[in-house]
Amino acid sequence: MVVLADVLKVLKVLRRLASTEGKLGVTLRQQILEHAFVLSNLAEIMDDNGNSHELKQLAAEILKNLAMDRNTSADIGHIRVIISSLMRAFLSQDPSSSTNSNHLLWKNAGQALAMLAMESRDNCLVMLMEQGYVFIRQLTTMMQDDRFKCIAASLLWNMCEHAQSELSNSDLKELSYILRETRDRKTANLSVNCNPGLLEGEPTCSFHIVFQILTSIHICALNIDSIVLEGIMDAEGAELEVLIGLSSQICQVIPEDFAREVEHGQIKEKFIKRLVEVLNAHMKPSAHCPRIRRVIVQHAIYLMEFNSRYANDFHKCWMVEALSMVERTPSRAENYRLFSGDTGLMEHNTPLTALVARAKELMGREWVRGISSVT
């Protein structure tokens, strides 16, 4: 007979091995998966309603770490019950629960889903099609609460990037709602508690969804005091990366809605200026936010591809000079989506240099067109 205490001991050892960083961690995770029953046993633990939250949160954390490998992520996705049980734990639990194991289960389940969604169209589709959930709507609702925002933003980013063709009209309306909700928020809801972290799932800058972490216009318009302004404008690293990434994908998926909100909210100039400022501030990539320059350049491309006149706005903010600096300071770190220690994982297919070249090409076209129209 299997004793609960023994199972907990095994899971804790497995968690320690699976969370090892660097090349050793990559090797250990591969060796763990050589045991044919590991994933099925973890699936059974997650799916059994009779198991304790402690058992499930350990299993979810192990799954999150194993999913850092692209091939393993695909293998986990093939076991549908794993994604089903992770979604149930993430969407049905109350992360504000006073029980530590309850909170850890919610947090680890959300992080595991975010990791599984990264670079995997198949896993994103499984999540979208899971019975009993309206996933995009639920994630959109979670974006309005600082306790859930970072993980929800990461999941929405991946849904837009990898499952765009499967998003329904109602899903697109929910994404548009994120933009409108940001603009329509009232000052009465404001409070700030910054704690950067892409998948950490802890509260970050309170209330500010996508645009409000990137621009200051909302703050000025609503007469928020300077302390709050400084807190938002000081936000850096992974938090900025995930929100710019989501903003970029919303721009790509529903460009008309995105442009309308930017124009109607009268934030275009300050939004573009903020993107260029963040780009200039991150000339030295880090493992903490290896994609921040990439998502900014990609965002600029999406804006200019939708409406070439955005190129003039970027020119006014010295974007060409910022792009040239990115060209002169390449880093291998920017080839990867995430890091385990100093080891890069999930390499991008398109190098950043190619994106920079595309952005400069788009800006050059509009600049020449503008000169021609003057002459």
Least Cα distance to 282 among 268, 269, 293 occurs for: 293
Instruction: Please give the full DSSP string across 102-144, using - where no structure is assigned.
Output: HHHHHHHHHHHHHHHHTT-HHHHHHHHH-TT--HHHHHHHHHT
DSSP state letter for 347: E
Return the SS3 of 13.
helix
Q: Report whether 76 contacts 27 (CB < 8 A).
A: no
Q: Report whether 262 contacts 268 (CB < 8 A).
A: yes
Least Cα distance to 239 among 190, 295, 323 occurs for: 295
Q: Spell out the domain ranges in the chain.
A: 269-375
CB hemisphere CA count around 321 (13 angstroms): 7
| Per-residue pLDDT at 195 exceeds 50 | no
| Per-residue pLDDT at 53 exceeds 80 | yes
Q: Report whether 46 contacts 108 (CB < 8 A).
A: no
| Per-residue pLDDT at 260 exceeds 50 | yes
For the beta carbon of residue 335, count every other beta carbon within 10 angstroms. 18
Question: Residues near 70 by Cβ (< 8 Å), separated by ≥ 6?
Answer: 119, 120, 345, 346
Element (H, E) at 220: helix 217-221
* Residue listed under structure tokens 């690293």: 237
Q: At what angle do helices 149-162 and 238-253 cross, to 10 degrees?
A: 40
Tens digit of each residue's pLDDT (9 = 90 or more) over 24-41: 999 999 999 999 899 999
Tens digit of each residue's pLDDT (9 = 90 or more) over 305-341: 999 999 999 999 999 999 999 999 988 888 888 888 8
State what percent of residues in the chain have pLDDT above 70.
78
Give buried/exposed letters for 240-254 (b at 16+ CB in 10 A, else e): bbbbbbbbbbbbbbb
What are the Cα distances from residue 99, in Å, to 53, 54, 104, 195, 345? 10, 10, 9, 22, 33
Return the SS3 of 346.
strand
Please state the pTM of the whole predicted model: 0.80
Calculate the average pLDDT of the chain: 79
Decide which of 353 and 103 is more confident. 353
- Alpha helices for 2-148 (secondary structure H): 4-18, 22-32, 38-47, 53-66, 70-78, 80-92, 100-117, 121-129, 135-143
d(CA 269, CA 356) in angstroms, rounded, equals 21
**pLDDT value of position 355:** 96
CB hemisphere CA count around 261 (13 angstroms): 23
Tens digit of each residue's pLDDT (9 = 90 or more) over 118-158: 989 999 999 988 877 788 888 888 877 777 878 988 998 99
Model confidence at 111, pLDDT cuts 50, 70, 90, reads very high
